[in-house]
Structure 1
Amino acid sequence: MNVLAYLIPISLTLGALGLVGFLWTLRSDQYEDPDGDAARILRYEYDDRPAD
């Protein structure tokens, strides 16, 4: 049972880090243009930079 004293705080810390990372991606507009990404993946021409 002493192991739970270590595992519970570790799991809560990792969950909080995951939540902070997700919120950071939301604030930095990582999900701004999902339709454009879906259309670009079907093109035959190679484009290493997304269109502005």
Structure 2
Amino acid sequence: MTVLMFTIPISILLGLVGLGAFLWTLRSDQYRDPEGDAARILFDHDDRPKQD
């Protein structure tokens, strides 16, 4: 029974930390343009010739 007295507050604290991290990513516009980010990784915009 004493194990529950430690694990329940720790799990609630970890859940609140995860929720806080998720809300922080929402406020900092991390999910603003997921399609653009997915397409941007496929194209190489480096127009400079490669140096030997």
Structure 2 counterpart of 1:41, which letter? I
Name structure 2 gaps, 5 residues minimum. 47-52
Tell me the matched-pair count. 46
Aligned residue runs from structure 1 range 1-52, under 5 A: 1-46=1-46
For the pair shown, the structure with the greater C-alpha radius of gyration is 2
Q: Which runs of 5+ in 1 are unaligned?
A: 47-52
Report deviation, 1:45: 4.0
SS at match of 1:35: helix
Q: Runs of 4+ in structure 1 displaced over 4 angstroms?
A: none
Counterparts of 1:36 and 1:20, CA distance in 2 = 26
Aligned sequence identity (%): 65
Over the aligned positions, Cα root-mean-square deviation in angstroms equals: 1.1
Aligned residue identity for 2:24:
W
**Partner deviation per Cα, 1:10-49 (whole Å, 9 max, x = no partner):** 0000000100110010011011111111111111345xxx
